[in-house]
Amino acid sequence: MSDPRMTPRDHSVGAPLWLLAELTYRCPLQCPYCSNPLDFAAHRDELSTDEWIETMRQARAMGAVQLGFSGGEPLVRDDLEALVAEARQLGFYTNLITSGLGLDEARIVALREAGLDHIQISLQAGDAEVAAAVAGSPKAHAKKLAMARAVKSAGYPMVLNVVLHRHNIDDLDAIIALCDDLGADAVELANCQMYGWAQLNRAGLLPSRAQIEAAEATTARWRATLAARGRDMRLLFVVPDYHEDRPKACMGGWGAIFMTVAPDGTVLPCHSARDLPMRFPRVPEHSLAAIWYESAAFNRFRGDAWMPAPCRDCDERHQDHGGCRCQAYLLTGDLSATDPVCDRSPDHHLIEAARAEADGEARSLGELVSRNARESRVF
């Protein structure tokens, strides 16, 4: 055990169930809430096809059952079909998380033949103008709609994901109507969570309380309408953490069930951890099992011995695990702090201040910093 990044194995730690394979940070779009790290442009290396296959094999051998292919835009990898076929062979349930750009009818058929189970396409807005402003591409919206229709007609169960923020949330009625028209089986109305580029743009993205309440009412009205029509389209509305008083159990707990492998093989407990001042091991330098069970990074926030007050003595600490480590760090600069979303946190005033700011004037859509390599920050 000479490597200080590795620690003795704790045999009470369970296996990962979920592997998110971030195949690439490359993407044709420039969303100002991109979940890729701020310094994504500093990480250009990508695992080879064989290295991804070996990583998937190891994850499956450890017990992982669900595999998401994401990015960046995973369709920019021309080995995606080969990776899906291998994942299927290994027995994973597979999900493609895509903008829809890079997809065409031939690729939809090829992915189907390779055994892909499920496709999730993201939409930026209900109308082309806002979508173009958010994605930084005038043509992307029409392409996404065409691909959503093609995915549906190819027989896939289709989830549409719409990231909500203060510049599109008031248009929720039209967004849900569009998803209905496209034949979605489920719609994730996921309010933007404030990590990476979204955190950089928080003042221009966070909706006001009144906007959230109106959107919840619209969602409830649509649920009733859909049920009355016998239309089975599930609507999942995710409230932004900043409008809650208890934190989420992020990722089900640090190193509990979920792991992300970044394009260059860095293994992370969540997709935002790369922005933390920590060192995470890589495959193939270490095996996935060694990283999961023995790395100092994965063991650092397991259990509750690391928790400060008030989490340390709190009766909810085994439900939310003290909240999100990335959010705690981004807001307080302290990796171990109680997530300020919690109203028991001594830092909860930071959340209240952000809410108050969101209830006032905010930056216009045009003032947001789009994800781009030039401004990608290397810390």
Binding site for ligand FES (CB under 6 A): 195, 250-251, 254, 270, 272-273, 324-326
Q: Is residue 44 at the binding interface for ligand SF4, with CB under 6 A as the rule?
A: no
Q: Which does 355 bind (CB under 5 to 8 A by kind): ligand SF4, ligand FES, none?
A: none
Minimum CB separation from ligand SF4 for residue 202, in Å? 20
Minimum CB separation from ligand FES for residue 57, in Å? 26
Q: 32 vs 255, which CB is nearer to ligand FES?
A: 255
Q: What angle do CA 274, 279, 284 make, to 5 degrees?
A: 90
Q: 171 vs 339, which CB is nearer to ligand SF4?
A: 339
Token output for 32: 């100002």
Q: Which residue has the tokens 């994850």?
A: 59
Q: Which does 143 bind (CB under 5 to 8 A by kind): ligand SF4, ligand FES, none?
A: none
Q: Which does 270 bind (CB under 5 to 8 A by kind): ligand FES, ligand SF4, none?
A: ligand FES
Contacts of 293 (CB under 8 A, 6+ apart): 9, 10, 13
Q: Which does 280 bind (CB under 5 to 8 A by kind): ligand SF4, ligand FES, none?
A: none
Minimum CB separation from ligand FES for residue 341, in Å? 11
Which run of H or of E encompasses 21? Answer: strand 18-22
Contacting range for ligand SF4; rule: CB under 6 A; set: 117-125, 137-145, 269-277, 337-345: 337-345
Contacting range for ligand SF4; rule: CB under 6 A; set: 62-70, 88-96, 199-207, 339-347: 339-347
Binder among 234, 344, 349, 377 for ligand SF4 (CB under 6 A): 344
Minimum CB separation from ligand FES for residue 81, in Å? 30
Q: Is residue 126 at the binding interface for ligand SF4, with CB under 6 A as the rule?
A: no
Site for ligand SF4 in 233-252 (CB under 6 A): 246-247
Q: Is residue 310 at the binding interface for ligand SF4, with CB under 6 A as the rule?
A: yes
Give the integer Cα–Cα distance in Å for 26 and 184: 27
Q: Is residue 314 at the binding interface for ligand SF4, with CB under 6 A as the rule?
A: yes
Give the integer Cα–Cα distance in Å for 233 and 296: 43
Minimum CB separation from ligand FES for residue 291, in Å? 16
Q: 106 vs 305, which CB is nearer to ligand FES?
A: 305
Contacts of 285 (CB under 8 A, 6+ apart): 265
Query: With contacts defined by CB under 6 A, how many residues of the chain interact with ligand SF4?
Result: 14
Q: What is the DSSP string of 238-274?
A: E--GGG-SS---GGGSTTTSEEEE-TTSBEESSTTGG
Q: 60 vs 165, which CB is nearer to ligand FES?
A: 165
Sheet of 258-261: strands edge to edge?
234-238, 186-191, 158-164, 118-123, 93-98, 66-70, 18-22, 258-261, 267-268
Q: 211 vs 272, which CB is nearer to ligand FES?
A: 272
Find out whether 147 and 122 touch, Cβ atoms under 8 Å. Answer: no
Token output for 229: 């029509």
Give the integer Cα–Cα distance in Å for 61 and 57: 6
Q: What angle do CA 114, 51, 93 make, to 5 degrees?
A: 35
Give the integer Cα–Cα distance in Å for 187 and 223: 11
- What one-character DSSP code corresponds to residue 367? G
Give the binding site for ligand SF4 (CB under 6 A): 246-247, 310-311, 314, 316-317, 320, 322-323, 338-339, 342, 344
